[in-house]
């Protein structure tokens, strides 16, 4: 029998600090008949990503803010269950960005077909999708890793950080990851082959980092901001590169108290000739094909590995999103419907 409603999660209220369950509300809307040129998609996988926290605020973030009552943004992997569009057949699996919802009616704009035989389709949201590509373009365009250099990456066990570290290993770097907790440290060292892995909650982080980077830091991949950048800055070598990818420690912090005074940061940038450059993956769509080609080969050859944190049930999306921001998920955070 045809499904009768579309369920979605909308922004019910704006978070004051870290998001809480009351910031989200599930709403139902009747599912209308398809018009000509439309398809009905059923969601299989919902991706939960840190940028969504920025979208919950009214002010500018690196993605647009959303209005109260509007659906939370997200990329989805879905399957076509009804079609009145000649390009799309029932059973096609696609990636698209309709937001937190279980069904979507669309004319197909912005949809990309996936080949389930070449890789598990969930990877289109992780290692072969936006997070993997973020790592790829930031390394290629800004970090430019060279053999023998030392790269440090924060939020290292997540989908962006773990990919950054593994590509840097392929490029011949010494790689030091910073993540929360012993399980994540072990994973980075024992399963991904990082040279060292540190815990950002360790009160002796500055000393541990200096020990792990005896020749200083040539590339610092910034995913977090705050205290980690504080301990990294003194260790940066002349001509170090700092791709500023994300600042997850600051997203829920409206009044940050940590941070080097602007003048001392500027002095370090000048005297060490640092390259500190922000970037947003969406600006680099022309590199998507090169990324998917190269990453597919690395995956096939076992040179890059990935990990997914999967929860079943659409209703769990808010709690898993909150858990992801707290570091309580491990790997690419996904909800399976
Ligand atoms: P993750 O799935 O790794 O989730 C974020 C992780 O950050 C948490 O799990 C937690 O891991 C860590 N974290 C949270 N708060 C803190 C804190 N206060 N101090 C230290 N670590 C913290 O995220 P992604 O891999 O998807 O994304 C990583 C970064 O990249 C984010 O900042 C994101 O916004 C950014 N990004 C940027 C893009 C761009 O185009 N510029 C595109 C995609 C992502 P732990 O257990 O280690 O503490």
Is the model's pLDDT at 144 over the cut of 60?
yes
pLDDT tens digit sequence for 64-81:
789 999 999 999 999 999
Task: Determine contact, residues 10/69, Cβ cutoff 8 Å.
Answer: yes
How far is it, in rounded angstroms, from Cα 49 to Cα 134?
Answer: 12
Query: Which pLDDT score, from 0 to 100, does residue 163 have?
Result: 98
Which of 54-58, 175-179, 288-292 shows the lowest mean pLDDT across its residues? 54-58
Query: Which pLDDT score, from 0 to 100, does residue 319 have?
Result: 98
**Beta strands per DSSP E along 84-235:** 93-96, 103-106, 112-113, 150-154, 174-179, 196-199, 217-221
Work out the number of other CB atoms within 10 angstroms of the CB of residue 275: 15
Nearest CA to ligand 1 atom 36: 246
- The model's confidence at residue 328, banded by pLDDT at 50, 70 and 90, is very high
Ligand 1 close to Cβ of residue 160 (< 6 A): yes
- The model's confidence at residue 256, banded by pLDDT at 50, 70 and 90, is low
Cα(305) to ligand 1 centroid in Å equals: 18
> Residue 227 contacts by C-beta under 8 Å, 6 or more apart in sequence?
200, 205, 249, 258
Cα(49) to ligand 1 centroid in Å equals: 8
Query: Which pLDDT score, from 0 to 100, does residue 190 have?
Result: 97
How far is it, in rounded angstroms, from Cα 79 to Cα 94?
Answer: 6
Cα(88) to ligand 1 centroid in Å equals: 35
Ligand 1 close to Cβ of residue 155 (< 6 A): yes
Query: Which pLDDT score, from 0 to 100, does residue 253 have?
Result: 78
Ligand 1 close to Cβ of residue 137 (< 6 A): no
Domains of the chain: 5-125+307-336 (3.90.180.10), 130-281 (3.40.50.720)
Task: Determine contact, residues 47/317, Cβ cutoff 8 Å.
Answer: no
Nearest CA to ligand 1 atom 40: 280
Is the model's pLDDT at 330 over the cut of 80?
yes
Query: Which pLDDT score, from 0 to 100, does residue 4 have?
Result: 84
Cα(133) to ligand 1 centroid in Å equals: 15
Ligand 1 close to Cβ of residue 224 (< 6 A): yes
Pocket test for ligand 1, best of 126, 139, 178, 223 (most atoms within 8 A of CB): 223
Cα(255) to ligand 1 centroid in Å equals: 19
- The model's confidence at residue 3, banded by pLDDT at 50, 70 and 90, is low
Closest ligand 1 atom to 161 CA: 25
Which of 51-55, 259-263, 310-314 shows the lowest mean pLDDT across its residues? 259-263
Query: Which pLDDT score, from 0 to 100, does residue 262 have?
Result: 78
Closest ligand 1 atom to 278 CA: 41
Ligand 1 close to Cβ of residue 320 (< 6 A): no
pLDDT tens digit sequence for 84-136:
999 999 999 999 999 999 999 999 999 999 999 999 999 999 999 999 999 99
Query: Which pLDDT score, from 0 to 100, does residue 277 have?
Result: 96
Ligand 1 close to Cβ of residue 163 (< 6 A): no
Query: Which pLDDT score, from 0 to 100, does residue 265 have?
Result: 87
Ligand 1 close to Cβ of residue 15 (< 6 A): no
Cα(117) to ligand 1 centroid in Å equals: 30
Query: Which pLDDT score, from 0 to 100, does residue 272 have?
Result: 94
Nearest CA to ligand 1 atom 7: 155
Is the model's pLDDT at 260 over the cut of 70?
no
Query: Which pLDDT score, from 0 to 100, does residue 252 have?
Result: 83
Cα(184) to ligand 1 centroid in Å equals: 14
Task: Determine contact, residues 234/260, Cβ cutoff 8 Å.
Answer: no
């Amino acid at each position: 029998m045809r499904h009768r409603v579309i369920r979605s999660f909308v922004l019910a209220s704006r978070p004051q600090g870290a998001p809480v369950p009351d910031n989200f509300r599930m709403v139902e809307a009747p599912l209308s008949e398809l018009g000509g040129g439309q398809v009905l998609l059923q969601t299989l996988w919902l991706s939960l990503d840190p940028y969504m926290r920025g979208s919950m605020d009214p002010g500018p973030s690196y993605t647009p803010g959303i209005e109260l009552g509007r659906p939370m943004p997200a990329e989805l992997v879905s399957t076509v269950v009804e079609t009145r569009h000649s390009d799309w057949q029932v059973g096609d699996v696609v990636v698209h960005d309709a937001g937190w919802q279980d069904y979507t009616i669309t004319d197909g704009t912005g949809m990309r077909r996936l080949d389930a035989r070449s890789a598990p389709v969930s990877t289109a949201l992780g290692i072969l999708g936006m997070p993997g590509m973020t790592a790829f373009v930031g390394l290629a365009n800004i970090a430019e890793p060279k053999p023998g250099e030392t790269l440090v990456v924060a939020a290292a066990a997540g989908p962006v950080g773990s990919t950054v570290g593994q590509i840097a290993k392929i490029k011949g770097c010494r790689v030091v990851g910073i993540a929360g907790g012993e399980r994540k440290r072990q994973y980075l060292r024992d399963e991904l082959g990082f040279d060292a892995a540190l815990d950002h909650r360790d009160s002796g982080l500055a000393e541990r980092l200096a020990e792990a980077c005896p020749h200083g830091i040539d590339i610092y991949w910034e995913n977090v901001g705050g205290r980690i950048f504080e301990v990294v800055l003194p260790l940066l070598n002349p001509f170090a590169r700092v791709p500023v990818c994300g600042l997850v420690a600051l997203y829920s912090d409206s009044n940050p108290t940590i941070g080097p005074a602007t003048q001392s940061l500027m002095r370090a940038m000048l005297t060490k000739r640092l390259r500190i450059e922000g970037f947003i993956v969406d600006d680099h769509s022309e590199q998507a094909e090169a990324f998917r080609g190269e990453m597919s080969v690395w995956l096939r050859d076992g040179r890059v590995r990935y990990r997914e944190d999967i929860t079943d049930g659409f209703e769990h999306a808010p709690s898993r999103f909150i858990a992801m921001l707290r570091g309580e998920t491990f790997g690419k955070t996904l909800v399976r419907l």
